[in-house]
Amino acid sequence: MDIILLGNGNKPGVRDTIELLRPEIERRANILAEDFTGQKDVSSVRADLTVVFGGDGSILRAVRQMGTNQIPVLAVHLGTLSFLSTIQTDELIPLLDRPDLLQMPIIKHLLLHCRLFRSNQTEPESQHLALNEIVLHSLQAARSIGIEFVLEHQLVTTYRCSGLIVSTPVGSTAMSLSSGGPILRKDIDAVAILPISPHTLSNRPLVDSPDRFMELRTQQQAELTVDGSTVAVIAPGDTVRITRADQTFKTIDVPGFCYYKALRSKLGWNGRFGD
C-alpha cells in the first residue's frame, strides 16, 4: 500500500505523534511523500491513501495540496473541534493492519470550483477548489456591501450585507453554521447560500443544487476567501463564478463512525427527554 502523510507540523504534538507512529506505519505501507508545512504540491503523487494528522484546517490544506488528484483520506484527529477527522491516533495502526482497508466504502464529498474573472476578461485569473465554502465579503468588518447573486444567468437578488457565503455540506458546520445556516449531512448533494449580517430581515439561507451555475458580483471592493484563505481582492466589474468541481473529496467510511453522534458530541446536543 502506497500512502502520503500530511498534517500541520506547527500544531503542538503533531510531529511527535507522527514520529512515534512512523516505525509502525513504515512496516505496513510505503510512504511516497510527506509534508507538514502545507506547502508541498502532491498532486502528481499516485498513492492509494492520504493520511492526514490534525483537525479540519489540516484537511482543508490537504485538499489544496492534492489539487486535481484527490486521493482517499484517512483523517487522524489531532485538532480541537473537528468534524472531518474520523479516527483517533490509537486506531490508525489497527486500520492499516486490516487487509480490507482499501476495499472499505468511500464517501465522496462535494467540492466547488471557484474561478475569478477580472472585468472584460474571458479567461480566469485564478481558480480554486473549495471543500468548505467560498465567501465574498467586505474589506471592512463593520461595513456592508451590495452583492449580486446570479443563478443560471438569472438574478436572484442583490444582498445588502457584510458578505455572502456559498457553502458545501461539509462546510455547513463551519462558517455557515456560525452565520445561522442549516446543517447539511456531509454526503448530501446541495449547497447553502447565505448572507452575513443582511440588512433585510427577509433574507434567509437558500439551499440549491450544486449543478446550477452561480455568479457573484459587487460594485465595491471586496475580499474573496476560499476555505478560510484569502485568494484575491475583488474590484467592481469582476465576476466570481462557482460550479461543481469535477473532483470530489474522498474519505474512508471507517466502521463504527456515526455522523450524527459526532454532531451530538461536538455541538453539545443533549438528545434526551427529561433529566
Chain region(s) in the chain for CATH 2.60.200.30: 111-247
111-247: in CATH 2.60.200.30: yes
Multiple choice CATH, 2-105+253-267, 3.40.50.620, 3.30.590.10, 3.40.50.1820, 3.40.50.10330: 3.40.50.10330
Q: Are strands 73-77 and 49-54 parallel, antiparallel or unpaired?
A: parallel
Q: Which residues are catalytic?
A: 56
Quick one: pLDDT at residue 81? 64
**DSSP letter assigned to residue 204:** -
First CA to last CA distance, the chain: 49
Residue-wise pLDDT tens digits, 16-26: 999 999 999 99
Distance CA 3, CA 225 (A): 30
Please choose, from the candidates 242, 221, 12, 38, the residue with its C-alpha nearest in 3D space to the C-alpha of residue 127: 242
**DSSP letter assigned to residue 56:** H
Q: How confident is the model at residue 274 (pLDDT cuts 50, 70, 90)?
A: low
Q: How confident is the model at residue 199 (pLDDT cuts 50, 70, 90)?
A: confident
Residue-wise pLDDT tens digits, 120-145: 888 999 999 999 999 999 988 778 99
Q: Are strands 191-196 and 206-208 parallel, antiparallel or unpaired?
A: antiparallel
Quick one: pLDDT at residue 9? 87
**DSSP letter assigned to residue 37:** S
Distance CA 148, CA 24 (A): 53
Other CB atoms within 10 Å distance of the CB of residue 267: 12
Chain region(s) in the chain for CATH 3.40.50.10330: 2-105+253-267
Distances (CA, A) of 135 to 59, 153, 166, 232, 242: 19, 20, 6, 11, 11
**DSSP letter assigned to residue 139:** S
**DSSP letter assigned to residue 80:** S
Distances (CA, A) of 200 to 146, 158, 161, 195: 12, 11, 8, 10
Distance CA 47, CA 92 (A): 17
Residue-wise pLDDT tens digits, 140-190: 877 899 999 999 999 999 999 999 999 999 999 889 998 899 999 888 999
Average pLDDT over residues 63-71: 95
